[in-house]
Structure 1
Amino acid sequence: MAFEPDYGETLVSDEEAEALTPAAREILGDPIRKADLYDLEQQIQAEVADEWWGNLLNWNVPVRDLLVDHFVRDLHRRLYAPVWEWGGRQRSLETNIGIAPELIAVEMRNALDNLSYQWDHQTGIKARTLGIAAHAALVHVHPFVDGNGRVTRLLADLVFLAAQTGLEPLLAYDWEVDRRTYIRLLGEYDETRDATSLVHFIPVVSIEDWTTE
């Protein structure tokens, strides 16, 4: 999902800069370009993702251990706390997307518990569906100030991989899709709570092909 051509040269606003951690501001220097900020976030995400991919490929981590709110909060903290003061913190204000802040904790837990139950009790949900359904459900809740899409896509990747234990070849989601269609399908999920269209839209590739690109 590409950004606008001039995105990277844009400077971070004063409001955004105030939300950065002192360590991030020192790394990024002055003035702070969005391209440099994005690169820093991507570097941290790659490190966290690589660690968890290694965990999942080398140990049999149960899916249920990933589909818990504490794991998602910790994943968000690890992705964003080195850069943003709000990293790992639950949203406390109303926004034009997501549910009311006072409902976040319960709805987040219920959504993840429901998916974990479906998987553990072999209700017919497939590995490919499970990860996307977790992503869509949490984007609907919108639990964090920012970074909801990125952290829930990573969660989807990890859940999908964990759910494929014992299968070959291992598959991964390919998130390089048309952004407008992706957002529209997330909106449809908000109305229907059915992730089927989104599952069909997000392609999958073999991990071997994906990691050697």
Structure 2
Amino acid sequence: MGLDLDYIDGQTPLDEDEKEGLLIPTIATHGELDEFEQQNIEQAVLWSLNRSFKVEAVLSENFIKAVHKRMYGKVWAWAGEFRRSNKNIGVDKYQIATELRYLLDDAKFWYANNTFSPDEFAILFKHRLVSIHCFPNGNGRHSRLMADIIIEKIFKQKVFTWGAANLVRQGDTRATYLSAIKAADKGDIQPLINFARG
């Protein structure tokens, strides 16, 4: 294929079969890939901003897949499809649908019972979603957009700033984000909420 990808800390490598799903054969570097993905993601963000969604629609497997497809469908043939390989993060590939169902059921319970504040709800959902790692690529960006959709469309509050930086690039902001993710992995969600609102 010729796609040469260098990965930074926290990025999940694609296997060769997944690289074959690239829809733009002229992309050769990670920088070029990031650029095309970002263009596609911006279109998905605009799509989400111009619509209203019902809670039950957002908290569904179909919506989770549809958002990923909108974010990456012009770049990857497998956009919106659960991964078929195991990665350095996430649940076993055969457990994705089951774990996602648990998350969605939990989120419906949280919503119905006002279990968490809006920020806690959205960030807990984002963290659980990225921990499942449903897709071959783009799980961090996808989970952040899902949190933004939840906070804006369900709770009618401002979207998160996510440190107001490009988290795909190496740097202090990304390091702070990854540190907050690791704290959330250990049960402390507050640093990730602070980062999202920072």
Cα distance between partner residues in 2 of 1:88 and 1:17: 15
Aligned to 1:129: 120
Q: Which sections of structure 2, spanning at least 5 residues, go unmatched? A: 6-15, 166-172
Distance 2:83 2:19 in 1: 19
Q: Answer yes or no: is 1:202 the counterpart of 2:196.
A: yes
Judge conservation of contact 1:68–1:113 (CA < 8 Å) in 2: no
CA distance in 1, matches of 2:19, 2:87: 21
Q: Secondary structure at the match of 1:171?
A: coil
Question: Which residues of 2 match residues 130-149 of structure 1 at below 5 A?
Answer: 130-149=121-140
In the alignment, which residue of structure 1 is the partner of 2:90? 98
Residue identity opposite 1:46 in structure 2: E
C-alpha RMSD of matched pairs (Å): 2.2
Could you tell me how far 1:138 is from its partner in structure 2? 0.7
What amino acid is aligned across from residue 198 of structure 1 in structure 2? L
Given candidates 85, 93, 109, the residue that maps to 1:117 is 109
> Counterpart of 1:49?
45
Instruction: Tell me the residue number matched to 2:161.
Output: 174
Report what 2:11 is aligned to: none
Contact map agreement 2:120 2:193 (CA 8 A) in 1: yes
CA distance in 2, matches of 1:74, 1:40: 19
Distance 2:85 2:30 in 1: 25
**How far apart, CA to CA, are the structure 2 residues paired with 1:88 and 1:197?**
29
> Number of matched residues?
178
Go from structure 1 to structure 2 and tell me whether the alpha carbon gap of 1:118 and 1:93 turns closer, same or farther (over 3 Å shift): same
Counterparts in 2 of 1:78-93, with a 5 A limit? 78-93=70-85
**Match of residue 145 from structure 2:** 154
Q: Deviations over 1:89-112 (max 9, x none)?
A: 212222221111111111111112
- Once the two structures are TM-superposed, the CA of residue 17 in structure 1 deviates from its matched residue by 5.7
Please say if residues 135 and 153 of structure 1, whose CA atoms lie closer than 8 Å, have aligned partners that are also in contact. Answer: yes
2:160 partner amino acid: Y
Amino acid in the other structure paired with 1:67: L
For the residues of structure 2 that align with 1:144 and 1:17, how far apart are their CA atoms?
13
Tell me, yes or no, if the aligned pair for 1:127 and 1:160 is still in contact at 8 Å. Answer: yes
Report the TM-score, using the length of structure 1 for normalisation.
0.74
What is the identity, as a one-letter code, of the residue corresponding to 2:155? Q
Question: Quick one: which amino acid aligns to residue 60 of structure 2?
Answer: V
Corresponding residue number in structure 2 for 1:19: 21
Describe the superposition over 1:21-79 as per-residue Cα deviations: whole angstroms up to 9, x where unpaired.
2xx22xxx3x63433332221111111111111103xxxx3223212221111111222
Q: Where does residue 65 of structure 2 map in the other structure?
A: 73
- Structure 1: gaps of 5 or more residues: 1-10, 205-213
1:134-180 deviation digits (Å, cap 9, x = unpaired): 11001111111111011111111101101333xxxx41201136211
Secondary structure of the 1:43 match is helix
- Separation in 2, partners of 1:81, 1:55: 19
